[in-house]
Amino acid sequence: MSKPVVLVHPPLPIFEPQLKDYEVVHWPTDRADAVVTIGSVGVTNEMIERNPRLRAIVCFGVGVDGVDLAFCKARSVAVSHGRDINHEDVADVAMGLIIATARSFSQGERVLRAGEWKPPLAVPPQRRLRGRKLGIVGMGAIGQAIAARAEPFGLEVRWTGPRRKPDVKQPYESDLIALARWADILAIAARGEKSTERIIDARVIDALGDDGLLVNISRGSVVDENALITALKAGKLGGAGLDVFATEPTPPERWRDVPNVTLTPHLGGGTREALIMGTTNVLENLRRHFAGEELLTPLEM
């Protein structure tokens, strides 16, 4: 009896040995029964069309911005994702970037490594974190986890999103520009999708101001990266902490002369625990699909 054919895209050498019950193929192929992918990479509509037997797309992580959900729905292709797996880990990185950016960790390390540490202060003094105002863009699981971490640090929190949420205690602000104008720090936790592309544009950055800090742990597509770099170079934004980028891997030369920025290579959800849970989730969704059962974590389309 032949095994079900699973297209793994992009190739995931560390994960693929777990798929011993399936025949693993890579793109290009026209034989796939299901796809395993990273949501930010996803699969193109051409790939779906080229595989007429394809009936399930199983994504690592909560994001599915690399998948055309309307196209899948029209072709009866089920999509699952990894909700409630790594949001706490991503929020940890967000809080780390807030602290690192606010207190100039990256600048301080460069000064130290270059042998330029001259007491009493290696870097210009920064404002303390306690008492500052944090605006959160997107109050899903990650946004709420950031808020939970921020308040013990003495940060005042407000948020914005498409709609109010009655179970969220922090004050809601419907206008993104108004939130940026109010905030000292703006943390981006919005979904990466068409509706959020470059919503953090030059107007928002200008409203945040030359003492403001921007932290992004959602998707690089949410921020107008060129506008951000221009503002940082011109001193029109106080600093930025980024774990995600418009193009990944981001070219290092793009950031070589950009001041007051802390960069990490999209490591937000990359804990051992999250990877184990994510693998288990993917395998169970695959098993259920081929057994004709309801998916464990289906995405409503």
Which amino acid is located at 148 in the chain? A
Q: Are strands 133-137 and 185-188 parallel, antiparallel or unpaired?
A: parallel
Which residues sit opposite 187 in a β-bridge? 136, 215
Which letter does DSSP use for residue 192 in this model?
-
Residue 289 annotated in active site = no
Residue 81 annotated in active site = no
**Looking at 9, 191, 266, 289, which residue is catalytic?**
266
DSSP secondary structure, 221-274, as one string: GGB-HHHHHHHHHTTSSSEEEES--SSSSPPGGGGTT--SEEE--S-TT--HHH
**Looking at 219, 225, 288, 289, which residue is catalytic?**
219
Smallest CA-to-CA distance from 51 within 68, 74, 35 is with 35
Smallest CA-to-CA distance from 224 within 267, 237, 235 is with 237
Spacing of C-alpha 136 from chain mean position: 14
Residue 219 annotated in active site = yes
* Three-class HEC string of 131-167: CCEEEEECCCHHHHHHHHHHHHHCCEEEEECCCCCCC
**Looking at 31, 46, 49, 248, which residue is catalytic?**
248
The answer to whether residues 85 and 63 touch, using CB atoms and an 8 Å cutoff, is no
Residues 185-205 as b or e (16 or more Cβ within 10 Å = b): bbbbbbbbeeebeebbbeebb
- As annotated, the active-site residues are 219, 248, 266
